């Protein structure tokens, strides 16, 4: 009799276990389907709202799965990175290579401080104590909660690997005189750690494969990141910059479709009628897939996979496909 009851309970536990496994598999399959579905031709969709909602479904599904990282929260980094336009109830999370300065110029004009973007001094764009765009972190906890709940929220993303190539070119190959620390501090520090024969080859500047090794070296870069301070935000993940799993953004625009997204953002924010007078012309992504493959052609698979492991959240959250050379 006891033996029969044991068999009964064992069968019950087995049935429960199979049910849980089936639920998990269906959940994962649904997420994979939603991500794969993003390959549809966005330019053929007449109503851009459909594209935006499609992206939001991908983001929600991946956030819900929590299979790519541990629990997230609205970090101090994200609160520092979100700017507030009180006049029109808008929150903008700035992202590197997402046309951040152009968006901030537009928001400064919308604040009423200037009549057009040409009047805005360059040194005022990042002076958030004077330009009328305070950081969200400068507000009280209750004010932050209220604005996250009620204001229109948006930010811009692009293909993660294309973004890193653009960042490498902008900061290390064609370094601006106004940003000398990338060429003279950060670059040499990465070279010292990852280049054989240093300092004899240091005069050649930072190579892309060294940049990739640094970005994918989770343990090795910790002390370096502390030294580099806020400059590491140039290659931080979108998860770190904007906390998209903890803040429900109204629109996540893509640099690859910025013309359509910028018009949609202005319309959703209720300022579309003001846009023509602002002379706001969004930039376009200029790094193509062929150039991405060229940049990664001589890099070890191990280093590419470590790099992808760091940015896989950005790939999956925003519907970008993993590059073919990563899988081959």
Half-sphere exposure of 8 (CA within 13 A, CB side): 5
Query: Between these two residues, 288 and 297, which has the higher pLDDT value?
Result: 297
Q: Looking at the structure, tell me whether residues 170 and 113 fall in a common domain.
A: yes
According to the model, what pLDDT value does residue 157 have?
Answer: 96
Q: Which pLDDT score is estimated for 71? A: 52
Comparing C-alpha atoms, which of 217, 223, 231 is closest to residue 181?
231
pLDDT tens readout for residues 202-230: 567 899 999 999 999 999 898 899 889 89
Residue 20 and residue 56 in one domain: no
- Domain with 2 in it: 1-37
For the chain, the domain total comes to 2
Residues 267 and 232 in one domain: yes
Give residue 306's Cα distance to chain centre.
18
Do 275 and 129 belong to one domain? Answer: yes
Q: Are residues 25 and 167 in the same domain?
A: no
Average pLDDT over residues 257-267: 89
pTM equals 0.82
Per-residue three-class SS string for 238-266:
HHHHHCCCCCCCCEEEEHHHHHHHHHHHH
Q: Which pLDDT score is estimated for 87?
A: 93
* 176 and 116 part of one domain: yes
Q: Is the pLDDT of residue 44 over 50?
A: no
What does the radius of gyration of the chain's CA atoms come to, in whole angstroms?
23
Q: Are residues 111 and 5 in the same domain?
A: no
Kindly state the average pLDDT of the residues 155-177.
Answer: 92
Q: Is residue 52 domain-shared with residue 22, that is, in the same domain?
A: no
Residue 149 tokens read as: 């709940």
* Same domain for 155 and 14: no
Determine the pLDDT at residue 287: 63
Pairing of strands 90-93, 152-157: parallel
pLDDT value of position 275: 55
Looking at residue 274, its pLDDT comes to: 66
d(CA 269, CA 264): 8
Question: What average pLDDT score do residues 310-321 get?
Answer: 94
- Residue-level pLDDT at 53: 93
Same domain, 110 and 152: yes
Note whether 28 and 61 are same-domain residues.
Answer: no
Rounded Cα gap, residues 247 and 240, in angstroms: 12
Residues 59 and 151 in one domain: yes
């Amino acid at each position: 009799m006891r033996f029969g009851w044991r068999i009964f309970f064992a069968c019950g536990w087995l049935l429960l276990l199979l049910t849980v496994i089936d639920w998990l598999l269906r959940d994962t399959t649904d997420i994979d389907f939603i991500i794969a579905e993003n390959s549809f031709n966005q330019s053929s969709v007449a109503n851009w709202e459909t594209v935006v909602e499609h992206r939001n479904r991908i983001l929600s599904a991946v956030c819900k799965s929590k299979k790519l990282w541990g629990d997230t929260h609205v970090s101090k980094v994200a609160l520092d990175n979100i700017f507030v336009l009180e006049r029109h109830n808008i929150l903008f999370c700035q992202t590197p290579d997402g046309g951040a300065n152009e968006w901030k110029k537009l928001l400064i004009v919308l604040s009423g401080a200037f009549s057009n973007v040409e009047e805005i001094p360059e040194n005022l764009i990042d002076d958030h104590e004077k330009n009328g765009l305070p950081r969200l972190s400068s507000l009280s906890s209750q004010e932050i909660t209220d604005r996250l709940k009620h204001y229109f929220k948006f930010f811009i993303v692009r293909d993660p690997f294309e973004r890193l190539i653009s960042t490498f070119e902008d900061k290390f190959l064609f370094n601006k005189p106004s940003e000398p620390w990338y060429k003279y501090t950060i670059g040499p520090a990465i070279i010292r750690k990852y280049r054989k024969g240093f300092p004899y080859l240091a005069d050649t500047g930072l190579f892309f494969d060294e940049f990739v090794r640094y970005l994918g070296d989770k343990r090795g870069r910790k002390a370096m990141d502390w030294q580099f301070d806020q400059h590491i935000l140039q290659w931080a993940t979108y998860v770190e910059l904007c906390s998209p799993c903890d803040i429900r953004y109204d629109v996540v625009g893509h640099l690859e479709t910025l013309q359509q997204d910028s018009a949609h953002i202005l319309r959703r924010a209720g300022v579309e009628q003001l846009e023509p007078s602002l002379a706001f012309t969004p930039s376009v992504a200029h790094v193509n897939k062929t150039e991405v493959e060229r940049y990664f052609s001589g890099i070890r698979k191990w280093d590419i996979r470590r790099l992808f492991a760091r940015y896989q959240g950005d790939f999956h959250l925003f519907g970008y496909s993993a590059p073919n050379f990563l899988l081959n």
